[in-house]
A and B are shown apart, each in its own frame.
Chain A
Amino acid sequence: MRKFLLAFVGCAIWSTCSFSATVNERLVILRDSLLLADGSKVPYITFNAVETYNSTNSRIELNIGDQLDLWVVNFDTAVHEFAIKGLTNVFTIPAGDSIFTSNVFSTPGAFIFYDPLNFPDNAYLGLSSMIAVKDHQHPSFFWNIKEHKDSWNISITTGGSVNWNNYYPNYFTINGNSAPNINADADARVVGSVGDTLMIYVTNTGQSIHPLHFHGYHVDVMYSSKFPSHVGRSKDSEGVYSFEGSVFRLIPNQPGEYPVHDHNLVATTGGNVYPMGMFLTMLITP
């Protein structure tokens, strides 16, 4: 019995270690614009995987136990900072400079890296995205959700000030995409079959609370940075608070196409036009 137990523990340790690796990533800070649902554009800054700007922030995917060796390069003309929420280090990155940070991620979840300078201004302007740490091999989907107030992007980037106590956003994106492109994003749109285990990683890098409602299914809360006590709950409506992350597990029991809605009014509209905000569906085949 003891031999069996030892073998089991040994196998468990070996299998965990075998998935762990050193992951090298590079983030490039670039400034350009964000395309909104009505075709207008506002100033925007993002972390990119390469030296070509994309309004979809780069996302980092790790397995539990991985070491992330990360270079962050600032190609913007302004100074920026870099931090991973929950870790203590904050790095200053002058224009044209870079920093290196190395961290081991030993717990699964959806974490946020961002620019904490003048918080929340720079993070609001786009410099905030997700580190997804997995403890499984299931199909996974990623929603970096964020709301925007177009006039504030202009105000902040031109040196003006904004009063966050009066924040009333008027646009909404997932992974930097506005309607109708949200549902065309293969990373965001949940596609699977009945009985599959589908994992949904969510970070809210906006300033508002986003109460998500799943049609057709209840999901299991697997991780919540805001409310660890919510882990294990079966929910059809669960909020993701500002600068927090959640992981949901969906095991669909019926086929169909079902929307996921955000019950924050501002996320349903774009430029005060309905339904130009969040429209994202889950497509489940029999």
Chain B
Amino acid sequence: MRKCALLFAIVFLNWFAFGQMDTTISLVSKIDAFPQFELADGNQIYMMGYTQLIGAPIDIPAPTLNLTEGDSVQLNMWNLSQGPPHTIHLHGLDVDQANDGVPSLSFSVPHDDTGSYYFKAPHPGTYIYHCHETSVLHVQAGMYGMVIVRPQSADTLTWEGGYSFHSENTWMMSEIDTNWHVDSIINHPHDSTATTHEILDYNPQHFLVNGRSEQLLDGSSSELNMSIGEKVYLRLANIGNFGNTLIFPVELNANIVASDGRPLPSSYSSDTIVLLPGERYGVLLESSMLLNDSIQVEYFSLNTGAVWDVQYVNVNVEGFLGTMKLDEDAIKVYPNPTNGNLVVKLPSSQGTTKKVSLINMLGQVIISQEYTEEEYNFDLTILQSGTYFLKVINEGNNYLEKIIKR
């Protein structure tokens, strides 16, 4: 144990100490000693994968590598696979041959050894990294993650001079065929003389977004929880063996702006996008109305075109960008629910001009008033029954309260 700790310290500290790089990232490649990755049906399977900590469980996808445009990057890998060699292929980053991660053309890292990949990250965008050693087996086993290169000037730009956004999310689509995740495949002894490998037919039972499916997607980080007017940049990548068709609710006004780490010559609006294996796309989403819906992800066979599965990822659009809920001590709104009369009351210390707006579920402003009094009465009797939002702008602060009209 002490030897192991010493080796760890030497390897990792050396990497960090001598790295003349803008960014140094270290990964451990390893296998599960026992089935631990939980599927939607409750079963657990063996995985191969990358983690940043030795003791961390293997997850799908592997940790996202976050880089900045122009970075000189040193990516270290310590292979603790107990068997096969591994590599890291930086899919789409167009690194040089020595660092491309293809065993026969660059190098692979044997068990209990280390290797480093050196590259520049010149183009902001979304990329993939994955093992290229017996890649069909090792990728299916779980050895993949995303690389995000952000522009130097701002994390909330797609690229310099590109689109700005308020928040982002990443979705990596893949599948799992549990017959490929048995101990005899994942934990296979490495035979350096074996140049070919028998491959099973691929009949996946689990169709994943960021490693989760079915009920495991509910409440997961893949869900989009956004506000009206909030621009969300959704980074998509497909590392599976099936094609994906994503269908967005039209209310999200999906605008497809980038692919494979490059701006599209012409962005385009569409509620549907197809990602083939290995492709990445960047999609800007912005809703002008409240929404409680889902994005549909279809998984289709590349050989027959048949859709094998559909997953749904929740999208919730609530509130307005830059608003906070009413501070009950500062502003009072009553009665709520109301039959018609609504009182908005501010403390006497606040004598400035306030702007009050009433907004319907479609995001349309129904009433907009400015006033300086402490108390203001709204007559809502002409409004239909339903849910509305009261927005108060006071001294640069935005407040929001849901109003029920009976």
Contacts and interface: CB of A to CB of B under 8 A. Distances in A.
Nearest to B239: A263
A165 B199 contact: no
Interface in B237-261: 241, 243, 259-261
B260 A257 contact: no
Interface stretch (A94-102, A109-117, A154-162, A274-282): A274-282
A3 B97 CA distance: 52
Number of chain B interface residues as a range? 35 or more
A47 to B, nearest CB: 25
Q: Which of A166, A211, A217, A232 has the most CB of B within 10 A?
A: A211
Interface string A220-259: 0000000001001111111100000000000000111111
A74 interface: no
B302 interface: yes
Contacts of B201: 168, 272
B92 A236 contact: yes
A215 B103 CA distance: 13
B97 A229 contact: no
A190 B112 CA distance: 37
A261 B132 CA distance: 11
Interface in B134-187: 134-137
B300 to A, nearest CB: 9
Interface string A35-66: 00000000000000000000000000000000
Contacts of B137: 274
Given A168-B201, A233-B265, A269-B199, A264 B97 contact: no
B37 to A, nearest CB: 21
B298 interface: no
A236 B261 contact: yes
A167 interface: yes
A268 interface: yes
Contacts of A215: 89, 100, 102
A224 to B, nearest CB: 13
Given A211-B277, A211-B279, A272 B198 contact: yes
Contact of A264 (B262, B279, B302): B302
Interface in A178-220: 207-211, 213, 215-218
A218 B92 CA distance: 8
Contacts of B264: 233
A263 B197 contact: no
B100 A216 contact: yes
Interface string B119-145: 000000000000000111100000000
B304 A237 contact: no
Contacts of A207: 303
B303 A257 contact: no
B244 to A, nearest CB: 11
Given A233-B259, A235-B262, A265-B136, A273 B196 contact: yes
Nearest to A255: B97
A265 to B, nearest CB: 4
A265 B304 contact: no
Nearest to B102: A259
A81 B305 CA distance: 26
Contact of A256 (B97, B135, B136): B97
A222 B340 CA distance: 63
B376 to A, nearest CB: 53
B280 to A, nearest CB: 8
Given A216-B94, A254-B96, A265-B241, A237 B303 contact: no
Contacts of A145: none
Contacts of B134: 274
Contacts of A168: 201, 303
Interface in B263-307: 264-266, 268, 276-280, 302-306
B307 to A, nearest CB: 12
A119 to B, nearest CB: 15
Contact of B276 (A211, A216, A257, A273): A211
A256 B92 contact: no
A218 B304 contact: no
A258 B259 CA distance: 21
Contacts of B198: 272-274
B304 A264 contact: no
B308 interface: no
A164 interface: yes
B97 A274 contact: no
A234 B199 contact: no
Contacts of B98: 256
Interface string B194-215: 0011111110000000000000
A274 B196 contact: yes
Contacts of B278: 211, 213, 236-237, 261, 263
Interface string B40-58: 0000000000000000000
B184 to A, nearest CB: 16
Given A211-B278, A257-B97, A263-B278, A269 B136 contact: yes
A126 interface: no
Interface string B10-27: 000000000000000000
B105 interface: yes
B136 A233 contact: no
A281 B22 CA distance: 32
Given A167-B303, A208-B303, A274 B197 contact: yes
A169 interface: yes
A125 interface: no
A266 interface: yes
A169 B341 CA distance: 70
Given A234-B262, A263-B276, 12 more contacts: A165-B304, A209-B302, A210-B302, A217-B94, A237-B278, A237-B280, A256-B97, A256-B100, A258-B102, A272-B199, A272-B201, A274-B199
8 contacts: A217-B94, A218-B260, A237-B92, A259-B102, A268-B136, A269-B136, A272-B198, A273-B199
